[in-house]
A = this chain, B = another copy of it.
Amino acid sequence: MERLTVIKVGGALVEHAALLDALLNDFARLEGKKILVHGGGRTATAIAAELGIESQMVNGRRVTDEAMLRVVTMVYGGLVNKNVVARLQALGLDAIGLTGADLNVIRSDKRPVKEVDYGFVGDVKAADAHKFAQLLDMGAVPVIAPLTHDGRGHLLNTNADTMAATVATALAPHYDVTLTYCFEKAGVLLDADDDRSVLPVITEADFKAHVAAGVISGGMIPKIENALDAVKKGVKKVIITSAANLTGGTTIQS
């Protein structure tokens, strides 16, 4: 099967011109088909503040009322997405910016109100593998903004990590898929303060042993659980790494 790399880059990267340029250069050099999924939360918070709109976070997730939805639509769908597309085009990649609404490539449902009303937030249901394959076959490089729609004309703020995992999983039957999460550390570390202590490979058995031993803890646990879930659903490997080292870091495999 042909190789496909799905890379998720978070807000901190997207918002530093030099880091982003370095990352996009590395991305442009990756072999095979590729898809980029980006965040943009810090810029959204900054633009919202300039517009006098306060950002409210609950459990690390943004509460999205109508005013905040306008901001994230502008920032994720416009400012961040179109600038990344223009930069990738300059690097010779035939980038195309997409939200889940475009070509209906990623569908979601508005999150039900439980203890918290997150507002216009989408929970991802499915990605359209056929549409992505058509675009990839055209030579296009999809650049995905963390927005979806409810199918009734309303946009929804959506988690970029989940969108990346859903796209990778949907395409796993058609491609040899690597899903790469770029974050601020070099990978999964034995010593959180030492970037040289990267675990090169984690299997499910390793993961359980490391959690039991207290080596892996906190926010890294759900990250790796999601990675193992993607691997179980057919994604060849999931990499957790820094933007400076797209092909290094920690590989999660079954």
Integer count of this chain's copies in the complex: 2
CA distance A85 to B140 in the complex (A): 20
Find chain B residues with CB under 8 A from A102 CB.
82, 85, 95-97
- Rounded to whole Å, the gap between the CB of A184 and the closest CB of chain B is 25
Given contacts A86-B153, A87-B153, contact A76 B78 (CB under 8 A): yes
CA distance A74 to B43 in the complex (A): 12
Find chain B residues with CB under 8 A from A153 CB.
86-87, 89-91
- Rounded to whole Å, the gap between the CB of A163 and the closest CB of chain B is 15
Cβ 8 A contact of A78, one of B52, B75, B138, B151: B75
For A90, the closest partner residue in chain B by CB is: B153
Mostly, the A contact residues are helix
Find chain B residues with CB under 8 A from A73 CB.
78-79, 82-83
Given contacts A74-B74, A77-B77, A94-B104, contact A82 B51 (CB under 8 A): no
Which A residues lie at the B interface, using CB under 8 A? 47, 50-52, 70, 73-79, 81-83, 85-87, 89-91, 94-99, 101-104, 131, 134, 138, 140, 147, 149, 151-155
